[in-house]
Amino acid sequence: MTKGNVLIIGASGDIGSAIAKELEEAGFSLLLHYNTNAGSMTRLRAQLGEETILLELKADLQLEENVHTLLNKIDFPVDHIVFASGAADYGLFQDVSYRRMNEMMNLHVLAPWMITKSLLPAMIKKRTGNIIFITSIWGNIGASYEVLYSSVKGAQNSFVKALAKEVGPSGVRVNAVSPGFIETKMNNHLQADDRELLFSEIPLGKPGRPQDVANAVGFLLNEKSSYIHGEILNVDGGW
């Protein structure tokens, strides 16, 4: 018997895919969103049981109208939501275009707001459900040359803390997992020297794996974490 239906926003990424596989093993059914990474979705589909995937949703959430389209396509009940999508942005803040600002805000802030607003009433009615964000260490402490990314991840952290206070009495839990350096394609731009410098700053001396983040999400969807609410769970090796 399934433990419920989980909508994973950003299921085709390294972390999103690891989360999908972890949740299948835990007994959940999945609604999987992706944007351009069709190849990763094909590989993920082959690794998951056919009965696990209820729905696949392709949408570029940098555009507001696509969020409405995605929501209109969801014809299964959603018991839990995991927001694992994201896009990095590297460069000096003064060089950022207004268009890029809008894209990053839409993807990381507006789209999660809209999706949560649409699906939350059913959770409140059932007095159960989980909303989990994959944020970032930079949302906690900020990063030079990643000001835009740090800002939107910080907004996600604030949303988690505020919404948790609002919906806690209704039985819906809201939390976030905040990764440090995780070995994903998002970090492929780093040179070997830069990687070694980063690892020297991490007390555990090594990068995390997507599975480390997936393990944390699995824990937050487990009854063993039923009294954890409004938390930003750091998965960063002590960085």
- Backbone phi and psi for residue 189, each to the nearest 5 degrees, phi listed first: -75, -15
Look at residue 119 in the predicted model and tell me its pLDDT: 98
Other C-beta atoms closer than 10 Å to the C-beta of 17 total 25
Residue with tokens 């994201």: 86
Q: Given the structure tokens 């060089």, which residue do they identify?
A: 95
Q: What is the pLDDT of residues 79-130, one digit of tens each?
A: 999 999 988 888 999 999 999 999 999 999 999 999 999 999 999 999 999 9
Q: pLDDT at position 187, please?
A: 67
pLDDT surpasses 90 at 226: yes
User: Does residue 186 carry a pLDDT above 70?
Assistant: no
Catalytic residue among 34, 90, 98, 149: 149
- The per-residue pLDDT for 34 is 96
- Mean pLDDT value across residues 137-150: 93
90 is catalytic: no
Task: Provide the mean pLDDT of the chain.
Answer: 94
Q: What tens digit of pLDDT does each residue of 51-79 get?
A: 999 999 999 999 999 999 999 999 999 99
Give CA–CA dist 160/132, Å, rounded: 8
Q: What is the pLDDT of residue 195?
A: 73
| Prediction pTM value | 0.94
User: Is CATH 3.40.50.720 the classification given to domain 5-235?
Assistant: yes
> Strand order in 232-235's β-sheet?
53-58, 29-34, 5-9, 80-83, 130-134, 173-179, 232-235
What pLDDT, on the 0 to 100 scale, is given for residue 103? 95
Residue 107 confidence (pLDDT): 97
What HEC string does 36-59 produce? CCHHHHHHHHHHCCCCCEEEEEEC
Q: What is the pLDDT of residue 192?
A: 75
Checking if the pLDDT of 30 tops 70, the result is yes
Q: What is the pLDDT of residue 121?
A: 98
**Cα-based distances in Å from 58 to 11, 22, 51, 170, 185:** 10, 21, 19, 31, 20
Question: pLDDT per residue over 191-202, tens digit each?
Answer: 677 777 778 888
Contacts of 88 (CB under 8 A, 6+ apart): 146, 149, 186
Q: How confident is the model at residue 1 (pLDDT cuts 50, 70, 90)?
A: low
Query: Which pLDDT value is given to residue 99?
Result: 96
pLDDT digits (tens, 9 = 90+) for 155-168: 999 999 999 999 99
Tell me the domain boundaries of the chain. Answer: 5-235
